[in-house]
Amino acid sequence: TFHTAYLFSFTDIFLLCLITYCYYDSENNYIPINIILNEYDSIEKHPEKIQNCTSEDHFRQRILLAMFHVWTHFADIHHIQYWTVYGTLVCYVQRRGLLPHDLDIGVLILVQNTENLIPFSDAYFSSVYEIKLHPQWNVVGYTNRSYH
């Protein structure tokens, strides 16, 4: 069982797994993101406004934004409260976008909301996907904090 003093941090790989599990069209071999997102056009146009470091940044940023929109859709349907954290939150506040080199979207949910993920526990998730367990900062003293 999980201790209530912990939060789940979902990496972009876990979000990609959710996208694949929930929205993958196996007959046509694609994920119909434009069907489930009302703001698909803004996802397509937004990366062009984000600073980039390499020529591949816009492609990756488009995928991250699409995954985040899918996560918000998934969380709304399954009544999961969430908030953005780490670089995702910092860059949104500073630049209204993503960090040019960002590889993930930082999202936290309360441990109480994990029960809403139980229906997906039977899904096959490869070992390349991960869920990181973090202590709440206000419960554990700063010298005892751990990310393991």
Question: Within a domain: residue 1?
Answer: no
Residue 87, Cβ density class (10 Å: 0-12 exposed, 13-18 middle, ≥19 buried): middle
**What is the rounded CA–CA span in Å between residue 148 and residue 142?**
15
Q: Is the pLDDT of residue 89 over 80?
A: no
Number of domains observed in the structure of the chain: 1
Per residue in 21-62, pLDDT (tens digit) is 454 444 544 444 443 444 444 545 555 556 666 667 777 777
Say what the pLDDT of residue 133 is: 52
Spatial CB neighbours of 45, under 8 Å, sequence gap ≥ 6: none
Question: Within a domain: residue 83?
Answer: yes
Per residue in 90-137, pLDDT (tens digit) is 776 666 667 676 777 788 887 778 777 767 666 666 665 555 555 554
Domain range spanning residue 139? 6-144
Question: Within a domain: residue 81?
Answer: yes
Between the CA of residue 50 and those of 59, 64, 82, 105, 118, what are the distances in Å?
11, 12, 24, 15, 36
Question: Within a domain: residue 25?
Answer: yes
